[in-house]
Structure 1
Amino acid sequence: MDAMTSPSAEPTPSETFAPQDKYFNRELSWLSFNERVLAEAANPNYPLLERLRFLSISGSNLDEFMMIRVAGLAGQARRGIEKTSIDGRTPSQQLTAIRTKVRELENTQQQTLADLRNLLANQGVHIADEKRINAENLHWLRRYFLDHIVPVLTPQALDPAHPFPFVANMGMGILFNIARLEDESQLVEMVLIPNALPRFVRIPGDDATYIPIESIICRFADLLFPGFRVEGDGVFRVLRDSDIEVEEEAEDLVRYFRSAIQRRRRGSVIMLEIDYNFDPEAEKLLHDKLGVDDAFITKVEGMLGVSRLSAVVDEDRPDLKFEPYSPRYPERIMEHDGDCFAAIREKDIIIQHPYESFEAVVDFIRQAAEDPAVVSIKQALYRAGNQSPVIAALIAAAEAGKSVTAVVELKARFDEEQNLHWASQLERAGVQVIYGFVDWKTHAKVSMVVRQEKNGYRTYCHFGTGNYHPVTAKIYTDLSFFTADPKIGRDAAKLFNFVTGYVEPHKTEALSISPIDLREKLYELIDHEIENAQAGRPAAIWAKFNSLTEQGIIDRFYAASAAGVDITLVIRGICCLRPGVPGLSENITVKSIIGRFLEHSRIWAFANGYALPSSRARVYISSADAMSRNLNRRVETLVPIRNATVHDQVLEQVLLANLLDTEQSWELSEDGSYARLHSQTDGEGFNCHEYFMNNPSLSGRGAALSVSAVPKLRLRKGAI
């Protein structure tokens, strides 16, 4: 089964532009995104531990980038593949540019950490502060080392009699140069730090003092090597290729992924981080034994593995964190005594996480499980988390005798193992578990409930822009759309039949589905705006997604810009489109929002011949980003928003607030750099996260809240 090819008559930008002048490199654009994340760690408006959290996130992001994206490019370079990127670079050329940017990013991380350490110390939180280890603390640390660390360490001599130990992915270790006191003979010992040990040890006391585990091991190494003198040490950390490529001939996906997860832990080394003062001879030994000829090797003047600073963020200091936020439960549902189905029957509902509670989604599934009138539940699961109430509800429904189908995506990166666990739990309860396609990921976020009512069966659907994940739903901004529209219900049934039985839906009434026709629908909508502009009618596109890399969509945007269509894009992460270039994209503006919550919803709005915002605009939500993988190799949905109240909320509340934001926004310029926006209204900025935290949604507000309770956002001239 192949995805439909894109139309041949495709609008193209001026051929006078070379690829490097039309497009930004995907990988460098991602590194630029991570720079913006890291910049939040220096944001003086944030509490200190939240700033440390952003530093940790930037480290975690970079680790994944190296293990997946850089590993893929390195593999292509090794195999001599010369296929160029969208901006005309070979894999080797991209790796060269990435090395420079990664080095800059790591240097900034270490400088940021140094600054935060000083600021946190003034507030009684100390990180790796050796100066605070007085005699009492030293005694406590020594006892802790002997009682809790030594029993799980396994020193290993590196000599011909002892094979070089395997260093797992993301593993950290220490090389020691030691001399035997008896005869001064020299030895090199390796100590791998087990994952079971904490990354930081907190010394007891009112003030919080955190010492890295590697510092403790180095400080008390003489207790680990009695009869030897420790002459030197060096800490290192390894990242390995962690991508899992699914072979089309894989006969059993479950067995394949169980094996592939094990192989991931033993992938080729893609990055070696070492102490800045690492012994040259010891470094050479690591090079030889780890096989890092083609790997990134970085010398870190500071702390290795900044991603693990998240452990310090957990310190119980609410004064150094954001004020806790409790999401609202939709008033519309409460007005129906908590009956989700009664509320949805009355009118479509859309809620925005994390401002409105994910419990509404859980209750939708939970009530379906308990409702004797419900005969069938179908659910697509991409990421569900390690403590999923949605899984529990599906199990309860199956045990209650209902027909329950769960599409579990095994190819959800880094969640494969968790999803295998959930799949086995669901199957044991009697749920029909489907793993979807071998070569496509099922990325759509859909629930479908069929209920027996007076006039026959009625289908209720939930479509999300994010995962059924109770943890990320508290920090990711996503939309949850509930509807009993019969057309959408029929399309949802076709979508599930497509995934479970490969029955391709040749015609849908409302939904567009990738890789069948979602791309073509977007092309059609953009082309319609081009026609309106050429006819002298208002023409504009507002869109919000996480990444834009798909060349066909970018070229369509360029053609629309040339025709006079005003295009405003809110793209949190990667953007390969080059905005503001005369003769190419002068009518396109791109901004990125980075703040307390991670922007994750995907929304499209097309003017449709009327000035935006307008009740006549065509508005859609989607599970898909504007990326080749989403449009070519994933099952995704594009959902039209037709209910007037929901339409107003998505367009004139959610999307418009994102466009108006100044306090968390960065604008992309034609040279690829991002600059923070500053207030454009009497010195006062607008923060879309604060707006949503303080104002109820239009769709879920219920009759108890007057329209005036939700401040009306207005588009100011020049604000976008």
Structure 2
Amino acid sequence: MTEAAQSSSTVAAPSPAAGTTAARPAPVFGSSEVPAARATEDRIYIPEAEPSLAPEGEHGPDRFLDRELSWLAFNARVLELAEDPDLFLLERVSFLSIFASNLDEFFMVRVAGLKRRIATGLAVPSPAGLSPHEVLDQISEAAHVLQERHTRVFAEQIRPALEESGIRLVSWGDLGEAEHEQLSAMFSEQVFPILTPLAVDPAHPFPYISGLSLNLAVIVRNPVSEKELFARLKVPDQLPRLISVDGPRAGSRRSARFIPLEELIAVHLDQLFPGMEVLEHHTFRVTRNEDLEVEEDDAENLLQALEKELLRRRFGPPVRLEVTTDISPNVLALLVRELGVEEPEVYSLPAPLDLRGLSVIARVDRPELHYPKQLAHTSRFLNESETAKAANVFAAMRRRDILLHHPYDSFSTSVQAFLEQAAADPKVQAIKQTLYRTSGDSPIVDALIDAAEAGKQVLALVEIKARFDEQANISWARKLEQAGVHVVYGIVGLKTHCKLSLVVRQENDGLRRYCHIGTGNYHPRTARYYEDLGLLTCDEQVGEDLSKLFNQLSGYAPKSTFKRLLVAPRSVRSGLIDRIETEIRNARAGLRARVVIKVNSMVDEAIIDALYRASQAGVKVDIIVRGICALRPGVPGLSENITVRSILGRFLEHSRVFAFANGGNPVVYIGSADMMHRNLDRRVEALVQLRNREDIADLIALLDRYVAPTTASWHLDREGHWTRHHVDESGRPLEDIQSWLLASRARQRAVSIR
């Protein structure tokens, strides 16, 4: 879950039925007339220091929540969805798998990074006032509790519910002779040839254990010498983790049985150690430091430097050892000693380990156990009738700005169509594009290649440092270069995270620039379950801004003035704080003042302190955050006018929106930046100010619905505790915002085709 994280990683989640269809609340910001944007001076630079963390008034570091513990609280919310008996069963299974994947990434990156800083003496107290060792201890305590809870949910809730629905996770002893013969034949043909047992003795040192691999620790005895020996066997990750007992088509039947791959291997260990007596075997798993450190300033070639670092990533130090509860003390002691882990880093859990593998079961074709299928529709501003042939995106953009909301609006008939039509249009002269993450069979990349082969000028800014997508992006970069695309990797020291497309087209009255600015990646697959916003526009100011920004990214343009953009690392933080300060002045003058921010993470101390000042001035502040939040809401004298809500649902809430009442003339930005140091200081991010009054009013009304007391969400309190609010006082379900949006778009489409 990498946006994961982001991962991450990656979360999505929900309510099984569509919510109510109450009338949309009216915007509370007043008129949606937007004044002309103030030009901002912006240039790309690398800051020399983090923003000041000086205490505000009487409140010291305890005005912040710890970001690492807040992330664990976020993953606990994912686990709550798996625990919810009112959700569709196979979606609950999916959330169990997502939880496991998220936690893996947390250990590989956040815990590993903290351990590295402690080891090198670079760790400093967190903004929340905790020492590095205190943070690590609290992480360990919380992570142990969460992993144990995770396995209990599977064993006590999900597994029995699956069995009631005819889906069983079986062991070898549950099967009959016919199944044994079938699985043994499959083992001999597909599994045995790729297994490699590794002995450990004076001639064979303890082998390297790759990160996240599942392994068998095997104790065998030589019947001649009576000597006991240790061997390690890796469970191959190129095979499905759960093997269908009933054949490849079993997923569409009313019943389905699966056996863990490691158990199938375990019952055939005698074939791997002929002549030896197998005494015992245990499964274990290691998580390693897999964060990247590329010294760009000293690297002559960023691509080569990154490829070397990717090789080193495989050999990062262990940060977690997972073992089954039945492991023998001697085997555990050997693993701890050879891997160099400490006692708090050992997680003893019931089998099966690595519940990411439940994704196999989550994909079983049982429609009644999944969310009802939904089909994204073409935006009404692109095509009034979906029975017509594909819309002319350029003509639609000339009529008006088009605000897209994915996955409710189809990505393929909007953003993808925009780039595909640009590639095929002989009037298009140039295409400029950022790529942070994209799919393995990307139609976006194909369109850029087609455009280059047609003789158009094509620039692709490929961010090869996108975490865990580095290798894929290196491959894309080389493929694009071979097709004649101008490929650049951005600016040394900064990740290019902004989501931008610029198309230059020759028209009767001269060149016109068509633009897309989004909150999500150009990734057709994740666009089906990531909630994101995007703006299609041919506004001259936006086109001019994007031209300047692409020139900064591909060439030398150290100083530029932007009219409708805020660009990190120069002006996103300062621009948003300026807007917050305007709300403070308006509140003191008796004018309309309010701030609503929707982001994935709220961590940046300077932004949080500005929001505290706004609260103290009487400004109503609503924060909608999917993941981490270091802000403490509801603290008297500090943040009593701030609420924090979190929405996890069927779709992963990924859009970033910044709305300001502005004295009755609302200002709204959308874009790629979260409120984190890395986004504001170490990435190129872009926010665009909306201008269309209808779009502004609709988006504000939607934000109001997100924070309404009738909407299901989690609420954060001043102590850092999240409480789920999904039923009212009478026990009736609160409205699920994502179900409401699906129903709303279905109604809009029904009206449009009458």
TM-score by length of 2: 0.89
Tell me the residue number matched to 1:97: 138
Larger relative contact order, structure 1 or 2 (CA cutoff 8 Å, min sep 6): 2
1:34 and 2:34 correspond: no
Instruction: Check if 1:330 corresponds to 2:379.
Output: yes
The aligned residue for residue 430 of structure 1 is 484
Q: Which residue is equivalent to 2:45?
A: 2
State the secondary structure of the residue aligned to 1:448: strand
| Counterpart-to-counterpart distance in 2, 1:102 and 1:652 | 38
Q: What amino acid does structure 1 have at the position aligned with 2:361?
A: V
User: Residue by residue, what CA displacement relative to the aligned partner does 1:537-579 show, whole Å, maximum 9, x if unpaired?
Assistant: 2211111000001000000011110000000110010000000
Q: Distance in 2 between matches of 1:49 and 1:549?
A: 33
> Post-superposition shift, 1:640?
0.4
Q: Deviation string for 1:175-222 (max 9, x for gaps)?
A: 111122344332212111222232111101652111111112222223
SS of aligned partner of 2:381? helix
State the distance in 1 between where 2:294 and 2:477 align.
18
Corresponding residue for residue 496 of structure 2: 442
The DSSP-based 3-state class of the residue aligned with 1:609 is: helix
Shift of 1:288: 2.5
Query: In the alignment, which residue of structure 2 is the partner of 1:715?
Result: none
Query: Which stretch of the first structure deviates more once superposed, 166-175 or 432-441?
Result: 166-175
Task: Give the aligned partner of residue 165 of structure 1.
Answer: 207
Structure 2 counterparts to residues 117-516 of structure 1, below 5 A: 117-130=159-172, 132-204=174-246, 206=253, 207-247=255-295, 248-293=297-342, 296-335=345-384, 338-359=391-412, 360-516=414-570
Question: Partners of 2:284 and 2:179 in 1: how far apart?
Answer: 26
- CA displacement at 1:140 relative to structure 2: 2.3
**Does 369-378 or 41-50 show the bigger shift?**
41-50
Partner of 1:619: 668
Structure 2 counterpart of 1:174, one-letter code: L
Question: Equivalent residue of 1:507, what SS?
Answer: strand
Q: In 2, are the aligned partners of 1:24 and 1:578 still within 8 Å (CA)?
A: yes
Q: How many residues align?
A: 697
Q: Give the counterpart letter for 1:25 in structure 2.
A: D
State the alpha-carbon separation in 2 of the partners of residues 388 and 640 from structure 1: 29
Residue aligned with 1:352, SS: strand
Structure 1 distance, partners of 2:628, 2:142, is 15
For 1:529 and 1:140, how far apart are their aligned partners in 2?
A: 70
Conserved? CA contact 1:12–1:555, under 8 Å: no
Q: Does 1:689 align with 2:738?
A: yes
Q: Cα distance 1:79–1:105, how it changes in 2: closer, same or farther (>3 A)? A: same
Cα drift, residue 697 of structure 1: 9.7
Q: How far apart, CA to CA, are the structure 2 residues paired with 1:491 and 1:213?
A: 54
Following TM superposition, by how much is the alpha carbon of 1:518 offset from its aligned partner in structure 2, in angstroms?
1.3
Verify the 8 A CA contact 2:46 2:494 in the aligned structure 1.
no
Q: 1:190 to 1:557 in 2, by over 3 A?
A: same
CA deviation string 1:131-156 (max 9, x = no partner):
63223322322232233222211112
Deviations 1:408-434 (A, max 9, x none): 001100001110111111111110001
Please name the residue that 2:713 is paired with. 665
Instruction: Measure, in 2, the Cα distance between the counterparts of 1:662 and 1:6.
Output: 43
C-alpha separation in 1, matches of 2:372 and 2:746: 21
SS at 2:85 equivalent: coil
Distance apart, 1:268 and its partner CA: 1.1
Distance change in 2, residues 1:167/1:82 (3 Å): closer
Q: Deviations for 1:565-604, whole angstroms, at most 9, x for unmatched residues?
A: 0001100100000000011100000010011111000001
Q: CA deviation at 1:535?
A: 1.2
Separation in structure 2 between the aligned mates of residue 257 and residue 5 of structure 1, nearest angstrom = 23
Cα distance, 1:294 vs. partner? Answer: 8.4
C-alpha deviation, 1:378, in angstroms: 0.3
Shift of 1:387: 1.4
Distance 1:535 1:131, change over 3 A: farther
Aligned counterparts of 1:5 and 1:423: Cα–Cα separation in 2: 30
Deviation per CA, 1:500-557: give whole Å up to 9, x if none: 1141343111111111111111010000000011112221111100000100000001
Give CA-to-partner distance per residue, 1:473-525, whole Å, 9 cap, x none: 01110011101110111000011011111413431111111111111110100
Q: Is the 8 A contact 1:446 1:464 kept in 2?
A: yes
- Which amino acid in structure 1 is aligned with residue 425 of structure 2? D
CA contact (8 A) 2:587 2:617 kept: yes
One-letter amino acid matched to 1:72: G
Asked if structure 2 preserves the Cα contact closer than 8 Å seen for 1:663 and 1:679, the reply is no
Counterparts of 1:11 and 1:191, CA distance in 2: 50
Partners in 2 of 1:432 and 1:477 — Cα distance?
A: 31
Q: Between the two proteins, what is the percent identity of the paired residues?
A: 41
Separation in 2 of the partners of 1:468 and 1:17? Answer: 42
Aligned counterparts of 1:697 and 1:620: Cα–Cα separation in 2: 27
Query: Hey, what's the Cα distance between the residues in 1 that align with 2:262 and 2:432?
Result: 48
Q: Residue 149 of structure 1 aligns to a residue in which SS?
A: helix
TM-score by length of 1: 0.93
2:93/2:362 contact within 8 Å kept: yes
- Is residue 12–residue 558 contact of structure 1 (8 Å, CA) maintained in 2? no
Q: In 2, distance between residues paired with 1:131 and 1:582?
A: 61
Is 224-233 or 105-114 further displaced after alignment?
A: 224-233
Q: Which deviates more from structure 2 when the two are superposed, residues 685-694 or residues 411-420?
A: 685-694
Letter in 1 for 2:124: K
Secondary structure at 1:334 match in 2:
coil
